[in-house]
Amino acid sequence: MNPFLSSEIILWSATLGVLVPTIILFIECSAALLSGQKKTKKSIDIRPTIAVLIPAHNEALEIGATLKTLLPQLTKRDRLIVIADNCSDDTAKISRALGAIAIEREDAKCRGKGYALDYGLRFLEADPPEVVVVVDADCHVDEGTIEQIACLAKTTGSPVQATYLLAPPPNSSPKQKISAFAFTVKNLVRPLGLQQLGLPCLLTGTGMAFPWPIIHQAPLASGNIVEDMQLGLDLALAGNAPLFCPSAKVTGVLPSNQKAAKSQRTRWEHGHLRTIFAQVPRLLKASLLQRRFDLLAIALDLCVPPLSLLVLIWGVILVAALLIGLLGGTLIPAIVLAITGLLLFGSIIKAWAGFGRANLSFQTLLTIFFYVVGKISIYLSFLIKPQKIWIRTERDSK
Protein backbone atom coordinates (compact mmCIF):
# COMPACT_ATOMS: atom_id res chain seq x y z
CA MET A 1 0.00 0.00 0.00
CA ASN A 2 1.15 3.51 -0.79
CA PRO A 3 2.67 4.96 2.43
CA PHE A 4 0.88 8.26 1.85
CA LEU A 5 -2.43 6.42 1.42
CA SER A 6 -2.03 4.42 4.63
CA SER A 7 -0.94 7.48 6.58
CA GLU A 8 -3.93 9.43 5.29
CA ILE A 9 -6.32 6.65 6.32
CA ILE A 10 -4.86 6.79 9.82
CA LEU A 11 -5.00 10.58 9.75
CA TRP A 12 -8.66 10.65 8.71
CA SER A 13 -9.51 8.16 11.46
CA ALA A 14 -7.71 10.33 14.02
CA THR A 15 -9.38 13.46 12.66
CA LEU A 16 -12.83 11.96 13.07
CA GLY A 17 -11.77 10.70 16.50
CA VAL A 18 -11.22 14.28 17.70
CA LEU A 19 -14.00 15.89 15.64
CA VAL A 20 -16.84 13.83 17.10
CA PRO A 21 -16.16 14.56 20.81
CA THR A 22 -15.51 18.21 19.95
CA ILE A 23 -18.92 18.52 18.29
CA ILE A 24 -20.53 16.88 21.34
CA LEU A 25 -18.71 19.30 23.66
CA PHE A 26 -19.75 22.28 21.51
CA ILE A 27 -23.41 21.21 21.54
CA GLU A 28 -23.40 20.72 25.31
CA CYS A 29 -21.73 24.08 26.02
CA SER A 30 -24.04 25.88 23.60
CA ALA A 31 -27.15 24.27 25.07
CA ALA A 32 -26.08 25.27 28.57
CA LEU A 33 -26.20 28.92 27.50
CA LEU A 34 -29.52 28.77 25.63
CA SER A 35 -31.83 29.91 28.38
CA GLY A 36 -29.81 29.91 31.58
CA GLN A 37 -30.26 27.35 34.30
CA LYS A 38 -33.66 25.76 34.42
CA LYS A 39 -35.24 26.09 37.81
CA THR A 40 -35.87 22.71 39.31
CA LYS A 41 -39.44 22.91 40.53
CA LYS A 42 -40.40 21.47 43.85
CA SER A 43 -42.34 18.47 42.72
CA ILE A 44 -43.39 16.77 45.94
CA ASP A 45 -45.55 18.01 48.80
CA ILE A 46 -44.30 15.56 51.40
CA ARG A 47 -40.60 15.27 52.07
CA PRO A 48 -39.35 11.66 51.89
CA THR A 49 -37.43 10.02 54.71
CA ILE A 50 -33.73 10.50 54.03
CA ALA A 51 -30.54 8.75 55.05
CA VAL A 52 -27.32 10.61 54.26
CA LEU A 53 -24.31 8.33 53.86
CA ILE A 54 -20.81 9.78 54.21
CA PRO A 55 -17.95 7.37 53.36
CA ALA A 56 -14.89 8.56 55.29
CA HIS A 57 -11.32 7.32 55.48
CA ASN A 58 -9.22 9.25 58.01
CA GLU A 59 -11.24 12.44 57.60
CA ALA A 60 -10.84 13.84 61.14
CA LEU A 61 -9.62 17.16 59.71
CA GLU A 62 -12.62 17.66 57.41
CA ILE A 63 -15.58 15.70 58.74
CA GLY A 64 -16.66 18.26 61.34
CA ALA A 65 -17.09 21.09 58.84
CA THR A 66 -19.01 18.83 56.47
CA LEU A 67 -21.40 17.61 59.16
CA LYS A 68 -22.12 21.17 60.27
CA THR A 69 -23.43 21.99 56.78
CA LEU A 70 -25.59 18.85 56.73
CA LEU A 71 -27.16 18.61 60.19
CA PRO A 72 -29.32 21.78 59.88
CA GLN A 73 -30.82 20.35 56.66
CA LEU A 74 -32.12 17.17 58.30
CA THR A 75 -35.31 16.49 60.26
CA LYS A 76 -36.01 14.08 63.10
CA ARG A 77 -37.16 11.54 60.52
CA ASP A 78 -33.77 11.59 58.76
CA ARG A 79 -30.46 9.93 59.58
CA LEU A 80 -26.87 11.05 59.06
CA ILE A 81 -24.50 8.09 58.91
CA VAL A 82 -20.72 8.28 58.67
CA ILE A 83 -18.99 5.11 57.52
CA ALA A 84 -15.56 5.29 59.16
CA ASP A 85 -13.78 3.04 56.69
CA ASN A 86 -10.41 1.60 57.79
CA CYS A 87 -9.79 4.71 59.88
CA SER A 88 -6.83 5.16 62.20
CA ASP A 89 -7.86 8.62 63.43
CA ASP A 90 -10.82 10.18 65.29
CA THR A 91 -13.26 10.31 62.37
CA ALA A 92 -15.87 8.16 64.16
CA LYS A 93 -15.43 9.91 67.51
CA ILE A 94 -15.82 13.40 66.03
CA SER A 95 -18.87 12.32 64.01
CA ARG A 96 -20.65 10.92 67.07
CA ALA A 97 -19.84 14.00 69.13
CA LEU A 98 -21.56 16.18 66.52
CA GLY A 99 -24.70 14.05 66.42
CA ALA A 100 -24.13 11.69 63.51
CA ILE A 101 -24.36 7.92 63.59
CA ALA A 102 -20.88 6.49 63.02
CA ILE A 103 -20.38 2.90 61.92
CA GLU A 104 -16.88 1.50 61.62
CA ARG A 105 -15.60 -0.87 58.96
CA GLU A 106 -12.27 -2.70 58.99
CA ASP A 107 -11.14 -4.59 55.90
CA ALA A 108 -7.60 -3.89 54.74
CA LYS A 109 -8.03 -5.90 51.54
CA CYS A 110 -11.21 -4.23 50.31
CA ARG A 111 -10.60 -0.50 50.42
CA GLY A 112 -12.38 2.32 48.67
CA LYS A 113 -15.58 4.33 48.52
CA GLY A 114 -17.60 1.60 46.85
CA TYR A 115 -16.99 -0.89 49.66
CA ALA A 116 -17.79 1.74 52.30
CA LEU A 117 -21.08 2.67 50.64
CA ASP A 118 -22.09 -0.97 50.32
CA TYR A 119 -21.43 -1.38 54.05
CA GLY A 120 -23.60 1.64 54.76
CA LEU A 121 -26.47 0.27 52.68
CA ARG A 122 -26.33 -3.05 54.49
CA PHE A 123 -26.62 -1.09 57.77
CA LEU A 124 -29.81 0.58 56.48
CA GLU A 125 -31.52 -2.60 55.27
CA ALA A 126 -33.33 -3.27 58.56
CA ASP A 127 -35.07 0.12 58.41
CA PRO A 128 -34.59 1.57 54.93
CA PRO A 129 -35.28 5.23 54.11
CA GLU A 130 -37.19 6.34 51.04
CA VAL A 131 -34.12 8.11 49.64
CA VAL A 132 -30.39 7.66 50.21
CA VAL A 133 -28.14 10.69 49.70
CA VAL A 134 -24.38 10.27 49.30
CA VAL A 135 -22.01 13.08 50.28
CA ASP A 136 -18.21 13.01 50.45
CA ALA A 137 -16.54 13.81 53.77
CA ASP A 138 -14.74 16.96 52.61
CA CYS A 139 -17.57 19.03 51.09
CA HIS A 140 -19.69 22.06 51.85
CA VAL A 141 -23.34 21.30 51.14
CA ASP A 142 -25.42 24.39 50.36
CA GLU A 143 -28.60 25.02 52.33
CA GLY A 144 -31.61 23.25 50.83
CA THR A 145 -29.54 20.88 48.69
CA ILE A 146 -30.45 17.69 50.54
CA GLU A 147 -34.19 18.35 50.34
CA GLN A 148 -34.05 19.35 46.67
CA ILE A 149 -32.26 16.27 45.41
CA ALA A 150 -34.11 13.89 47.75
CA CYS A 151 -37.54 15.18 46.70
CA LEU A 152 -36.62 15.07 43.02
CA ALA A 153 -35.34 11.49 43.39
CA LYS A 154 -38.52 10.44 45.18
CA THR A 155 -40.82 12.08 42.62
CA THR A 156 -39.06 10.87 39.48
CA GLY A 157 -37.89 7.50 40.78
CA SER A 158 -34.47 8.32 39.29
CA PRO A 159 -31.00 9.00 40.68
CA VAL A 160 -30.27 12.72 40.99
CA GLN A 161 -26.93 14.53 40.79
CA ALA A 162 -26.42 17.97 42.39
CA THR A 163 -23.93 20.48 41.00
CA TYR A 164 -20.52 19.50 42.38
CA LEU A 165 -17.77 22.08 41.99
CA LEU A 166 -14.21 22.46 43.23
CA ALA A 167 -12.89 25.86 44.24
CA PRO A 168 -9.20 26.71 43.89
CA PRO A 169 -7.32 26.93 47.20
CA PRO A 170 -6.39 30.32 48.73
CA ASN A 171 -3.57 32.13 46.89
CA SER A 172 -4.02 29.72 44.01
CA SER A 173 -1.82 29.60 40.94
CA PRO A 174 -3.12 30.07 37.37
CA LYS A 175 -2.84 26.29 36.93
CA GLN A 176 -5.10 25.67 39.92
CA LYS A 177 -7.65 28.22 38.70
CA ILE A 178 -7.78 26.61 35.27
CA SER A 179 -8.12 23.19 36.90
CA ALA A 180 -11.13 24.46 38.85
CA PHE A 181 -12.59 25.89 35.62
CA ALA A 182 -12.12 22.57 33.80
CA PHE A 183 -13.98 20.93 36.68
CA THR A 184 -16.79 23.46 36.23
CA VAL A 185 -17.05 22.60 32.53
CA LYS A 186 -17.25 18.90 33.34
CA ASN A 187 -19.58 19.03 36.33
CA LEU A 188 -21.81 22.03 35.62
CA VAL A 189 -21.71 23.27 32.01
CA ARG A 190 -21.95 19.93 30.24
CA PRO A 191 -24.59 18.36 32.55
CA LEU A 192 -26.61 21.58 32.32
CA GLY A 193 -26.43 21.40 28.53
CA LEU A 194 -27.69 17.82 28.64
CA GLN A 195 -30.52 18.86 30.97
CA GLN A 196 -31.53 21.63 28.56
CA LEU A 197 -31.72 18.99 25.84
CA GLY A 198 -33.86 16.73 28.03
CA LEU A 199 -31.09 14.15 28.47
CA PRO A 200 -29.62 12.37 31.51
CA CYS A 201 -26.18 13.00 32.97
CA LEU A 202 -23.30 11.10 34.53
CA LEU A 203 -22.83 10.89 38.28
CA THR A 204 -19.96 13.09 39.44
CA GLY A 205 -19.22 11.90 42.94
CA THR A 206 -20.94 13.75 45.78
CA GLY A 207 -24.38 15.23 46.25
CA MET A 208 -26.13 12.18 44.79
CA ALA A 209 -29.66 11.05 45.74
CA PHE A 210 -31.11 7.60 45.07
CA PRO A 211 -34.55 6.11 45.69
CA TRP A 212 -34.09 3.12 47.99
CA PRO A 213 -35.54 0.54 45.53
CA ILE A 214 -32.83 1.54 43.03
CA ILE A 215 -29.75 1.90 45.21
CA HIS A 216 -30.10 -1.03 47.62
CA GLN A 217 -29.42 -3.58 44.86
CA ALA A 218 -26.77 -1.55 43.01
CA PRO A 219 -23.33 -3.17 42.49
CA LEU A 220 -21.32 -0.91 44.81
CA ALA A 221 -18.80 -3.21 46.47
CA SER A 222 -15.79 -2.70 44.23
CA GLY A 223 -12.47 -0.88 44.21
CA ASN A 224 -13.25 1.00 40.98
CA ILE A 225 -11.28 4.27 41.07
CA VAL A 226 -14.19 6.18 39.49
CA GLU A 227 -16.92 4.25 41.26
CA ASP A 228 -19.48 7.05 41.01
CA MET A 229 -19.21 7.29 37.23
CA GLN A 230 -19.48 3.52 36.91
CA LEU A 231 -22.49 3.44 39.23
CA GLY A 232 -24.29 5.98 37.07
CA LEU A 233 -23.63 3.90 33.96
CA ASP A 234 -24.81 0.68 35.62
CA LEU A 235 -28.01 2.37 36.78
CA ALA A 236 -28.61 3.87 33.33
CA LEU A 237 -28.23 0.46 31.69
CA ALA A 238 -30.77 -0.89 34.17
CA GLY A 239 -33.25 1.79 33.09
CA ASN A 240 -32.53 4.39 35.78
CA ALA A 241 -30.44 7.11 34.16
CA PRO A 242 -29.39 9.97 36.50
CA LEU A 243 -30.96 13.44 36.31
CA PHE A 244 -29.17 16.73 36.94
CA CYS A 245 -30.33 19.23 39.58
CA PRO A 246 -28.30 22.41 38.93
CA SER A 247 -29.87 24.47 41.71
CA ALA A 248 -28.56 22.08 44.38
CA LYS A 249 -24.88 22.67 45.08
CA VAL A 250 -21.99 20.90 46.78
CA THR A 251 -18.52 22.45 46.88
CA GLY A 252 -15.06 21.12 47.64
CA VAL A 253 -11.60 22.65 47.47
CA LEU A 254 -8.74 21.55 45.23
CA PRO A 255 -5.67 20.36 47.16
CA SER A 256 -3.02 23.05 47.49
CA ASN A 257 -0.26 20.45 47.70
CA GLN A 258 0.97 19.77 44.15
CA LYS A 259 1.68 16.10 44.80
CA ALA A 260 -1.81 15.53 46.22
CA ALA A 261 -3.40 17.46 43.36
CA LYS A 262 -1.55 15.38 40.76
CA SER A 263 -2.53 12.16 42.53
CA GLN A 264 -6.17 13.25 42.50
CA ARG A 265 -6.11 14.21 38.81
CA THR A 266 -4.34 10.97 37.90
CA ARG A 267 -7.00 8.87 39.62
CA TRP A 268 -9.86 10.77 38.02
CA GLU A 269 -8.45 10.92 34.52
CA HIS A 270 -7.06 7.39 34.36
CA GLY A 271 -10.37 6.11 35.66
CA HIS A 272 -12.27 8.21 33.14
CA LEU A 273 -10.18 6.93 30.23
CA ARG A 274 -10.48 3.30 31.34
CA THR A 275 -14.25 3.79 31.61
CA ILE A 276 -14.44 5.23 28.08
CA PHE A 277 -12.72 2.20 26.56
CA ALA A 278 -14.67 -0.31 28.66
CA GLN A 279 -18.15 1.20 28.75
CA VAL A 280 -18.78 3.13 25.52
CA PRO A 281 -19.06 -0.07 23.39
CA ARG A 282 -21.33 -1.56 26.07
CA LEU A 283 -23.58 1.51 26.06
CA LEU A 284 -23.74 1.70 22.27
CA LYS A 285 -24.68 -1.97 22.00
CA ALA A 286 -27.35 -1.62 24.68
CA SER A 287 -28.77 1.51 23.04
CA LEU A 288 -29.25 -0.42 19.80
CA LEU A 289 -30.67 -3.57 21.39
CA GLN A 290 -32.99 -1.67 23.74
CA ARG A 291 -33.72 1.12 21.23
CA ARG A 292 -32.93 3.72 23.89
CA PHE A 293 -31.75 7.17 22.84
CA ASP A 294 -30.80 8.07 26.42
CA LEU A 295 -28.10 5.38 26.41
CA LEU A 296 -26.76 6.69 23.10
CA ALA A 297 -26.63 10.19 24.58
CA ILE A 298 -24.75 8.93 27.64
CA ALA A 299 -22.29 7.03 25.44
CA LEU A 300 -21.60 10.13 23.32
CA ASP A 301 -21.17 12.29 26.42
CA LEU A 302 -18.78 9.74 27.90
CA CYS A 303 -16.75 9.81 24.65
CA VAL A 304 -15.59 13.33 25.44
CA PRO A 305 -12.21 12.90 27.18
CA PRO A 306 -10.86 15.27 29.84
CA LEU A 307 -10.71 18.78 28.38
CA SER A 308 -6.93 19.11 28.51
CA LEU A 309 -6.47 15.74 26.79
CA LEU A 310 -8.89 16.73 24.03
CA VAL A 311 -6.89 19.92 23.41
CA LEU A 312 -3.63 17.96 23.44
CA ILE A 313 -4.88 15.30 21.00
CA TRP A 314 -6.23 17.98 18.68
CA GLY A 315 -2.88 19.80 18.65
CA VAL A 316 -0.85 16.66 17.93
CA ILE A 317 -3.12 15.52 15.09
CA LEU A 318 -3.18 19.00 13.56
CA VAL A 319 0.63 19.09 13.44
CA ALA A 320 0.66 15.62 11.84
CA ALA A 321 -1.96 16.71 9.27
CA LEU A 322 0.06 19.79 8.33
CA LEU A 323 3.24 17.74 7.93
CA ILE A 324 1.51 15.19 5.69
CA GLY A 325 0.00 18.00 3.64
CA LEU A 326 3.37 19.72 3.20
CA LEU A 327 4.97 16.42 2.16
CA GLY A 328 2.52 15.96 -0.70
CA GLY A 329 -0.58 14.56 0.90
CA THR A 330 -4.00 16.17 1.06
CA LEU A 331 -4.55 19.23 3.24
CA ILE A 332 -8.26 18.50 3.74
CA PRO A 333 -7.75 16.83 7.16
CA ALA A 334 -5.78 19.90 8.29
CA ILE A 335 -8.67 22.13 7.20
CA VAL A 336 -11.16 19.93 9.03
CA LEU A 337 -8.93 20.05 12.12
CA ALA A 338 -8.70 23.83 11.90
CA ILE A 339 -12.51 23.97 11.96
CA THR A 340 -12.45 21.48 14.84
CA GLY A 341 -10.10 23.80 16.70
CA LEU A 342 -12.52 26.68 16.26
CA LEU A 343 -15.31 24.53 17.71
CA LEU A 344 -13.10 23.34 20.57
CA PHE A 345 -11.87 26.75 21.64
CA GLY A 346 -15.31 28.21 20.94
CA SER A 347 -16.70 25.72 23.47
CA ILE A 348 -14.11 26.78 26.04
CA ILE A 349 -14.86 30.47 25.50
CA LYS A 350 -18.62 29.86 25.72
CA ALA A 351 -18.19 27.97 28.98
CA TRP A 352 -15.86 30.64 30.38
CA ALA A 353 -18.15 33.52 29.38
CA GLY A 354 -21.22 31.89 30.87
CA PHE A 355 -19.84 30.16 33.95
CA GLY A 356 -16.17 30.93 34.56
CA ARG A 357 -15.26 34.57 34.16
CA ALA A 358 -16.30 35.55 37.68
CA ASN A 359 -13.49 33.38 39.06
CA LEU A 360 -11.06 33.24 36.14
CA SER A 361 -9.70 36.23 34.24
CA PHE A 362 -9.32 36.02 30.48
CA GLN A 363 -5.57 36.55 30.88
CA THR A 364 -5.38 33.49 33.14
CA LEU A 365 -7.51 31.50 30.71
CA LEU A 366 -4.90 32.17 28.02
CA THR A 367 -2.37 30.17 30.06
CA ILE A 368 -4.37 27.00 29.34
CA PHE A 369 -1.54 25.87 27.05
CA PHE A 370 0.80 25.50 30.03
CA TYR A 371 -1.92 23.67 31.96
CA VAL A 372 -2.30 21.17 29.11
CA VAL A 373 1.48 20.67 28.78
CA GLY A 374 1.71 20.11 32.54
CA LYS A 375 -0.64 17.13 32.28
CA ILE A 376 1.26 15.27 29.56
CA SER A 377 2.96 13.09 32.18
CA ILE A 378 -0.45 11.95 33.48
CA TYR A 379 -1.50 10.77 30.02
CA LEU A 380 1.85 9.13 29.27
CA SER A 381 1.62 7.21 32.54
CA PHE A 382 -1.81 5.96 31.44
CA LEU A 383 -0.17 4.38 28.38
CA ILE A 384 2.66 2.88 30.42
CA LYS A 385 1.14 2.03 33.79
CA PRO A 386 -2.48 3.14 34.29
CA GLN A 387 -3.68 3.58 37.84
CA LYS A 388 -6.11 0.83 38.80
CA ILE A 389 -6.11 0.95 42.60
CA TRP A 390 -8.07 3.44 44.70
CA ILE A 391 -5.73 5.86 46.49
CA ARG A 392 -7.12 8.46 48.87
CA THR A 393 -6.15 12.05 48.07
CA GLU A 394 -4.12 13.55 50.90
CA ARG A 395 -5.91 16.44 52.61
CA ASP A 396 -4.36 19.82 53.27
CA SER A 397 -3.39 20.26 56.90
CA LYS A 398 -5.49 22.70 58.89
28 or 38: which carries more pLDDT confidence?
A: 28
Q: Where are the beta strands (DSSP E) in 106-242?
A: 131-134, 140-141, 160-167, 208-211
Residues 6+ away with beta carbon under 8 Å from 241: 158, 159, 200, 232, 235, 294, 295, 298
Number of domains in the chain: 1
Cβ neighbour number for residue 101 with a 10 Å cutoff: 16
Evaluate whether 306 touches 182 at the Cβ level (below 8 Å): yes
Look at residue 85 and tell me if it is in a domain.
Answer: no
Evaluate whether 250 touches 140 at the Cβ level (below 8 Å): yes
Lowest mean pLDDT among 34-43, 103-112, 171-180, 359-368: 34-43
Lowest mean pLDDT among 233-242, 263-272, 301-310, 317-326: 263-272
Q: Whose CA is closest to 241, among 283, 270, 272, 188?
A: 283
Render 27-41 in DSSP notation, one character per residue: HHHHHHTTS-PPP--
Look at residue 225 and tell me if it is in a domain.
Answer: yes
If you average pLDDT over every residue of the chain, what do you get?
90
Q: Residues 80-122: pLDDT tens digits? A: 999 999 999 999 999 999 999 999 999 988 888 899 999 999 9
Lowest mean pLDDT among 45-49, 216-220, 222-226: 222-226
Look at residue 44 in the predicted model and tell me its pLDDT: 53
Look at residue 170 and tell me if it is in a domain.
Answer: yes
Kindly indicate the confidence band of residue 5, based on its pLDDT and cuts at 50, 70 and 90: low
Look at residue 79 and tell me if it is in a domain.
Answer: no
Q: Whose CA is closest to 250, among 138, 95, 100?
A: 138
CA dist., res. 373 & res. 89, Å (int): 38
Look at residue 362 in the predicted model and tell me its pLDDT: 94
Report whether pLDDT(389) > 80: no
Q: Residues 183-196: pLDDT tens digits? A: 999 999 999 999 99
CA dist., res. 340 & res. 19, Å (int): 6
C-alpha distances in Å from residue 78, one per residue of 44, 49, 162 = 17, 6, 19
Look at residue 132 and tell me if it is in a domain.
Answer: no
Work out the average pLDDT over 378-384.
Answer: 87
Domain limits at 243?
1-43+145-208+221-398
- Mapped onto helix, strand or coil, the DSSP state of residue 356 is helix
> Would strands 79-85 and 50-56 be described as parallel, antiparallel, or unpaired?
parallel
Q: Residues 224-238: pLDDT tens digits? A: 767 889 999 999 999
Question: Model-level pTM?
Answer: 0.90
Look at residue 4 in the predicted model and tell me its pLDDT: 56
Look at residue 164 and tell me if it is in a domain.
Answer: yes
Evaluate whether 100 touches 80 at the Cβ level (below 8 Å): yes
Evaluate whether 164 touches 250 at the Cβ level (below 8 Å): yes
Look at residue 64 and tell me if it is in a domain.
Answer: no
Q: Whose CA is closest to 203, among 215, 216, 191, 213?
A: 191
Look at residue 111 and tell me if it is in a domain.
Answer: no
